[in-house]
Amino acid sequence: MDRVVILDGYTDEPAGLGVPPYLDVYPRYIAGAIWSANKSVDVRYFTIDQVRGDWENFVKIANDSRLLIVIAGIVTPGKYLGGEPIRLEEIERLANIVNGPIKALAGPVARFGYGARGGFVAIPRTRFGKYYDIVITGDPDLVIHELISNHYQLSKVSPAMTHNDYKLIDEFAVLGARIVTQHPNYGKNLIIELETYKSCPRYITGGCSFCATVRYGPVKYREAGAIVREVETLYSAGVTHFRLGRQADFYTYMAHDTGKLEYPRPNPGAIERLLVGIRNAAPGLETLHIDNVNPGTIYHWPRESVDVTKILMKYHTPGDVAAMGIETADPRVVKLNNLKVMPDETYFAVKTISELGRVRGWNGMPELLPGINFVTGLPGETKETFRLNIEFLRRLLNDDVWVRRVNIRQVLVLQPTPLWGMADEIRQTLNRHRKYFLAFKYWVRRHFDHEMLKRILPRGTILRKAFTEAHYGDGTYARQVGSYPMLIYVPARIQLNTWMDFVVVDHGFRSVIGIPHPLNVNEAPRKLLKYVPGMTDKAINEILASKPIKDINNLRRMVGEEALKYLTI
């Protein structure tokens, strides 16, 4: 029996996230392609974090295989709690220490080059040709399918092969769904990224100057029935958390006049059919979120966008985020980089989503809030750009427009984008404006994020079903599952890999401080008791001296009605 090893070094693109607990399409499609070509192949899936824990064992398994596929590519770099993406030296080291199988490099790194973080020019993909037998610049699943169908003969396969439609992808997606059972987050907080279409409707005008998404060519929509069949298979395999994140703009799924209009008209009926189908295929799903909404769609088609928003709120789960890449509030930078919207148009879009989606859901989070992405270092940027960005955010605060989160990153210059020919100029701009970038980021975290968190999640808010993910110092990090889940810091080391409810007791800059809800007074240490709203030092001392407390009325006498709401015995 042939063995193929898939090593997931994680991916993060404008339209697609594959850093744990998220699992992107690449490993699933590739696994399905392998089994489509030869159903008897033993496919082994590893994450780079698993490999780091035992290099020797991984190398042994890989050397006994016919094919090693390394998936990697961080196009939109960020900070990750659930895993650390593969490093450049690891990509190269793997190729040197694994000698048995054919070695293939796949994912955005093979298509666009390697970029570890923003503010840099990506390392060209050509670098990896001396390490790997095949660097897949086309669609990895299709190339791997052809490689195995041709008995692993590299000479008969083009690394640049791409799909003309979704026919094979839809087959691969269903066949490869069972690979999820090998993921380390399976049965815990694993969330699956679902694809609805390729590329971006703004392809017809060239798209944003820095973006790689439009480089996939004309938009190709995926039929709702195929997405639903994939969800049904994943759900049968035990998956209950889903994100419709692999598209440039969820609101333009099956949009009218795509390929003719830069901002095609939303198709609420098609979106509702998709969401209803997913709900029917996975009736017990626990998370259904989206990612990516073009604010220009909302501005140009307000009525249809409101309809889509209402439909989404009917079928999704709370805590959802419509992430909007506004990139800048400087009109000059918008024009020079062919960006999506002017500042006033952005404001309209952000306010529209905020007003509709700020109602609180069952899990404690607002139903749907906008997210904002800024990119710095673009052509035309000046010191004034950063002032305009701050003024835009101040306007949102002053008008009480809620925003779930603000992402700020420095541009990553990728090979197939228009910025590639301006790499030296971009590098100079980034260096010259670094102090402005840091000052802007500091202002956002200190003044905007902190105030916004207090509005979105006031003290006393109960966040239900969060998963304890990691210890940090003397505390614990927990998050609900979703698109951009709120980070909860618990000021005590509690059991990991556990689902719990937490009550918000204070606010950081990008996270909240929470304590388990209800808090068992007979088990809680002093440092947790002191965070209980309405709790006094006198009450804490009396509790600690009286443990175990067995009478709720006795506890009421000690702490009063306000604190009692958050406690149990």
| CATH number for position 527 | 2.40.50.140
Q: Is pLDDT of 93 > 70?
A: yes
Average pLDDT of 95-101? 95
HSE-CB for 487 with a 13 A CA cutoff: 19
Considering the domain architecture, whether residues 309 and 418 belong to the same structural domain is answered as yes
Nearest to 350 by CA among 338, 361, 335, 340: 340
Integer distance in angstroms from the first to the last C-alpha of the chain? 57
Average pLDDT of 402-421? 93
- Does the residue 525 lie in any domain? yes
Average pLDDT of 284-312? 99
Considering the domain architecture, whether residues 450 and 476 belong to the same structural domain is answered as no
3-state secondary structure 53-114: HCHHHHHHHHHCCCEEEEEEEECCCCCCCCCCCCCHHHHHHHHHHCCCCEEEEECHHHHHCE
pLDDT at position 464: 98
- CA distances to 479, 552, 558 from 536, in Å: 28, 18, 10
pLDDT at position 283: 98
pLDDT at position 216: 87
Q: What is the mean pLDDT of the chain?
A: 96
Q: Is pLDDT of 118 > 80?
A: no
CATH number of the domain enclosing 51: 3.40.50
Identify the band that residue 124 occupies on the pLDDT scale cut at 50, 70 and 90. Answer: confident
For residue 472, what is the enclosing H or E element?
A: strand 462-472
| DSSP three-state, residue 369 | strand
For the stretch 352-386, pLDDT in tens is: 999 999 999 999 999 999 999 999 999 999 999 99
> How far is residue 298's CA from residue 211's CA, in Å, rounded to a whole number?
20
Q: Is pLDDT of 428 > 70?
A: yes
- Does the residue 178 lie in any domain? no
Supply angle C-alpha 14, 139, 176, rounded to 5: 90
Considering the domain architecture, whether residues 355 and 481 belong to the same structural domain is answered as no
Considering the domain architecture, whether residues 503 and 392 belong to the same structural domain is answered as no
Q: Is pLDDT of 115 > 90?
A: no
CA 420 to chain centre: 26
Considering the domain architecture, whether residues 259 and 355 belong to the same structural domain is answered as yes
pLDDT at position 50: 98
Q: Is pLDDT of 234 > 90?
A: yes
- The count of structural domains within the chain is 3
Considering the domain architecture, whether residues 224 and 278 belong to the same structural domain is answered as yes
Average pLDDT of 485-507? 97
Q: Is pLDDT of 116 > 70?
A: no
Q: How many CB atoms lie within 10 A of CB 102?
A: 17
Considering the domain architecture, whether residues 424 and 471 belong to the same structural domain is answered as no
pLDDT at position 563: 93
- CA distances to 256, 330, 374, 435 from 382, in Å: 38, 9, 15, 12
Considering the domain architecture, whether residues 427 and 474 belong to the same structural domain is answered as no
Q: Is pLDDT of 461 > 90?
A: yes
CB 231 within 8 A of CB 271: no
CB 85 within 8 A of CB 49: no
CB 247 within 8 A of CB 292: yes
pLDDT at position 515: 98
Question: What DSSP character marks residue 251?
Answer: G
CB 193 within 8 A of CB 22: yes
> How far is residue 414's CA from residue 74's CA, in Å, rounded to a whole number?
11
Considering the domain architecture, whether residues 409 and 447 belong to the same structural domain is answered as yes
Considering the domain architecture, whether residues 448 and 491 belong to the same structural domain is answered as no
pLDDT at position 24: 98
pLDDT at position 1: 86
Considering the domain architecture, whether residues 137 and 16 belong to the same structural domain is answered as yes
Considering the domain architecture, whether residues 104 and 205 belong to the same structural domain is answered as no
- Does the residue 29 lie in any domain? yes
Residue 321 structural domain:
190-456
Q: Is pLDDT of 31 > 80?
A: yes
pLDDT at position 121: 75
Q: Is pLDDT of 35 > 80?
A: yes
